[in-house]
């Protein structure tokens, strides 16, 4: 009995280690970007300074933005586009960051807008608009599980349930939805976690 339990624990441990071996490098692949380079977060020398910086930096979900500024001299506020255009903190997203350097982790793809809320600074072009990609092109994600129709060869094969496959012999087996917490985890890591859960 003890030997069978040990083998089970070894399999679980190996599955967990394999999962982390796949996920950890991708987490570490996030890039830190210093806004404005060596100039930092300040009133820029011209109106194209921050737009040029943004166009020269490829940003992805998980990356961080470092806003270098002396505490008390500037702030960082994420705002919607309308507030960015108007240099207003109306409808700001999250808290005002007033301690420098301030670090912001990018949590979603799309457009993000940041301004300095110190009076007059945004009007002097201390504002940043960035476009964030969904992630690294080498980061695979788990496709949604869809039900197969008999004539659709492009549909993914559904995951079997714990009770085994069921349904007709035409390829329409049962499907098991992945837990929401596993969506976006690379397939190999998810498979390792599923194996560990099955052996548990």
**Domain total in the chain:** 2
Number of H helices, E strands in the chain: 4, 8
pLDDT value at 149 more than 80: no
Same domain, 19 and 63: no
Same domain, 21 and 104: no
At residue 10 the predicted structure's pLDDT band, cuts being 50, 70 and 90, is confident
Same domain, 100 and 126: yes
pTM of the model: 0.56
Contacts (Cβ under 8 Å, ≥6 apart) of 74: 41, 42, 67, 100, 116, 118, 121, 126
Give the rounded percent of residues in the chain with a pLDDT score beyond 70. 54
Same domain, 1 and 40: no
Nearest to 164, CA basis, from 148, 149, 176, 178:
176
């Amino acid at each position: 009995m003890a030997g069978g339990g040990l083998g089970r624990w070894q399999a679980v441990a190996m599955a967990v280690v394999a999962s982390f071996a796949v996920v950890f490098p991708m987490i570490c692949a996030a890039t830190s970007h210093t806004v404005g380079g060596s100039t930092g977060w300040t009133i820029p020398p011209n109106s194209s300074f921050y737009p040029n910086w943004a166009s020269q930096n490829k940003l992805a979900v998980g990356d961080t933005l470092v806003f270098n500024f002396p505490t008390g001299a500037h702030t960082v506020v994420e705002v919607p586009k309308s507030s960015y255009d108007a240099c207003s903190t109306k409808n700001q997203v999250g808290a005002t960051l007033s301690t420098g350097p301030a670090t912001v982790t990018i949590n979603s793809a799309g457009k993000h807008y940041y301004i300095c809320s110190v009076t007059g600074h945004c009007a002097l072009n201390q504002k940043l608009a960035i476009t964030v990609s969904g992630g690294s092109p080498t980061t695979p994600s788990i496709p949604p599980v869809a039900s197969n129709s008999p004539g659709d060869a492009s549909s993914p094969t559904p995951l079997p349930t714990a009770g085994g496959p069921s349904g007709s012999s035409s390829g329409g087996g049962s499907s098991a939805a992945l837990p929401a917490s596993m969506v976006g985890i690379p397939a190999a890591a998810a498979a390792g976690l599923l194996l560990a859960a099955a052996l548990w």
